[in-house]
Structure 1
């Protein structure tokens, strides 16, 4: 049976799957378990992505120390490939990590640097946890600088070893990653899954986080044949829908206002935003200033299940104020909508521990 969804239903499924409905989650781990990944990014006109993602879900009670505790003390989350992920996801990731790399160039670089690889592992075994800067670069073959990293090959090797499940990030010192052997960071009693079991579980978790995913999508959110088939009015796409999300459609607890960091997972699938939400999102961070319409790092404003505007704001740490440069309204807000957005801005300033300087 193929489910026939209205656009309103499709939007509600996605918003609820992303924990952006009125029913807020209770803590950091609950968010990570549902979303499967909390993006890490240091760009912070307001706050880094990992913190704004959690605040936009949990609300005023979220504090940065809760994330640190979940990752570094409780080990209920772990850092991998630029995101914090729930440790419950590790068993389904490990089989793929053990097969890595698939690309010939990566495999050849590792083979050419077998001695370097052994040196890094031995150094961590003897002295870890360590910063990358504390590990000598003994590479036999270097990767060319890519604009994001320099000539030092240690970060490359650590990231390759992380993808293989050999090393892991034990904690952070500021924005710097501290590395150790994976068997000293990851739990030792994880269940063993074969490739098929792992793939199935990953697809199920991805669909859980998406709520509604494009069928056959191999790039943004591959979910395979998990879930149930669905179509959405006005869309030519074929979808897979999470049965639990479908069953919860009647539990309408209303919506709320949320400001989304530009790297928020809700915004990652740009074509789905256009297809389902009629929202064409362009990040203006890398555009020249004269070409920006909404601002360097403007946060999309979600109201209920619709995108209604963009918040251009920045934290002035020196003056301890949140400066609102503009609230761009896609359509003019009615008085109730305006009050809801203003109330959320006040909440944001309170969460940041600063006063509000409204420059509009």
Structure 2
């Protein structure tokens, strides 16, 4: 059993997550697709004080990323919307592995947050089948009665049909979902066969380990219902076949793909700053982030203003292979300025001048990504332990 130091573990995570690596050759669009297929999913979020999380996460891996890439990938049927641990875009390559969850919803083996109204669901399907792709607002009636087409139940019917696989999201218009029949959205060559339990379990394990470098059962099954036994069985089978091995990190046992450990021989660009989304794949599991990066992080937009320690939308900042700062950011559209309302520096930052030089370069790029002409740091604080 191989032991990895924390610096080695962090390096393995960052390289597996496509962070602090050299840009790939090829078009910016193809690199964006490659990022999707490496990460396995990109979480969708509605908060827009800076560029939305799904765009931000892709830009963090691909400096040439353009917001239009995502719509184009959906139009080209290279990615699709569904659920990972939360609402996400996923690579179409993995479509068949969304089917076990959809089937469970459809058969009532997994509960949905909405109660099924079968008659309303049938009516919704019939309209979309005859009229083509529709948004929730297309069902609004002039009367706006609570039991009419524009009522909350109609949106629930659409979402239920989406979660159980009858509908897919064909596109988004001004961030509103456009629903269509699944058979009209799927590409002709997609594999739509339902995986066996063994295939599904191994997919869950291997996709997580490849994207994150290493993991344990709790991390692999994070916010996924009814699959711990399946994932545990897959871990045992993959250990027996030699596809994965155990590693020790910080006195805890994890699993890693055997070939992933060769990533440790690659170079990590430590001097480049990365400004990350709160919903970034790297740190969405806060307990893991604290354990591996010694960085306790809480997104405080859900915390009452008076109780916030760092601000409404603090973005974690990566540098020198560590999470070293938090930047509470907000775009001012009237002045085209990316405001860093408050920058908090961790005590682990020793070469502050070098760090600030790299940070300012990245902030300028981040401002441009947010369609701002410039940025302004309004306040800086150094945290004490």
Render the CA deviation track for 1:241-271: whole Å, top value 9, x for unaligned: 1223212211123323111111111111111
Map 1:166-315 onto structure 2 (within 5 A). Answer: 166-191=166-191, 192-195=193-196, 196-217=198-219, 218-220=221-223, 224=232, 225=235, 226=238, 228-236=244-252, 238-255=253-270, 256-315=272-331
1:107/1:323 CA distance change after superposition, 3 Å: closer
Instruction: Kindly indicate whether residue 130 of structure 2 is the aligned counterpart of residue 129 of structure 1.
Output: no
Q: 1:208 to 1:120 in 2, by over 3 A?
A: same
Query: Does the 8 A contact of 1:228 with 1:243 survive in 2?
Result: yes
Counterpart CA distance in 1 for 2:102 and 2:304 is 39
Q: Could you tell which deviates more after superposition, 220-229 or 323-332?
A: 220-229
Gaps of 5+ in 1: 144-149
- Deviations along 1:274-308, whole A, 9 cap, x unmatched? 11111111111111222222110010011132110
What is the aligned partner in structure 2 of residue 344 from structure 1?
Answer: 362
For residues 137-171 of structure 1, what are the alpha-carbon distances to aligned partners after superposition, in whole Å with 9 as ceiling and x for unaligned? 9xxxx99xxxxxx9611222222212221100000
**Distance in 2 between the 1:320 and 1:107 partners?**
40
1:358 match: 377
Measured in 2, the distance between the counterparts of 1:168 and 1:29 equals: 20
Q: 2:78 matched to which residue of 1? A: 76
Q: Is the 8 A contact 1:39 1:264 kept in 2?
A: yes
- TM-superposed deviation, 1:336: 0.9
Tell me the residue number matched to 1:146.
Answer: none
Residue 108 of structure 1 and its aligned partner are, at CA, apart by 9.8
Equivalent in the alignment of 1:93? 98
State the 1:333 CA deviation.
Answer: 4.8
| Bigger shift: residues 120-129 or 89-98 | 89-98
Distance 1:108 1:71, change over 3 A: closer
| Equivalences for residues 27-106 of structure 1 within 5 A | 27-59=31-63, 61-72=64-75, 74-81=76-83, 82-101=87-106, 102=108, 106=112
In the TM superposition, what is the alpha-carbon distance from 1:175 to its structure 2 partner? Answer: 1.4
Assess if the C-alpha contact under 8 Å between 2:339 and 2:378 holds in 1. Answer: yes
Assess if the C-alpha contact under 8 Å between 2:9 and 2:249 holds in 1: no
Distance 1:108 1:35 in 2: 29
The residue number in structure 1 matching 2:383 is none
Shift of 1:49: 0.6
Query: Can you list the C-alpha shifts for 1:206-225, whole angstroms capped at 9, x where unaligned?
Result: 22112211135432577541
Task: Output the CA distance in 2 between the equivalents of 1:248 and 1:131.
Answer: 44
Determine if contact 1:93/1:202 at 8 Å carries over to the other structure: no
Moved more, 194-203 or 83-92: 194-203
Distance change (3 Å), C-alpha of 1:44 and 1:107: closer
Q: Secondary structure at the match of 1:212?
A: coil
Distance (whole Å) between structure 2 residues aligned to residue 186 and residue 294 of structure 1: 43
Q: What's the RMSD between the two structures over aligned residues?
A: 2.5
How far, CA to CA, are the matches of 2:114 and 2:35 in structure 1? 38
Distance in 2 between the 1:160 and 1:45 partners? 29
Comparing 202-211 and 31-40, the one that deviates more: 202-211
The answer on whether the counterparts of 2:43 and 2:279 sit within 8 Å (CA) in structure 1 is yes
**Offset of residue 316 of structure 1:** 0.6
Aligned pair in 2 of structure 1 residues 220, 176: CA closer, same or farther (>3 Å)?
Answer: same
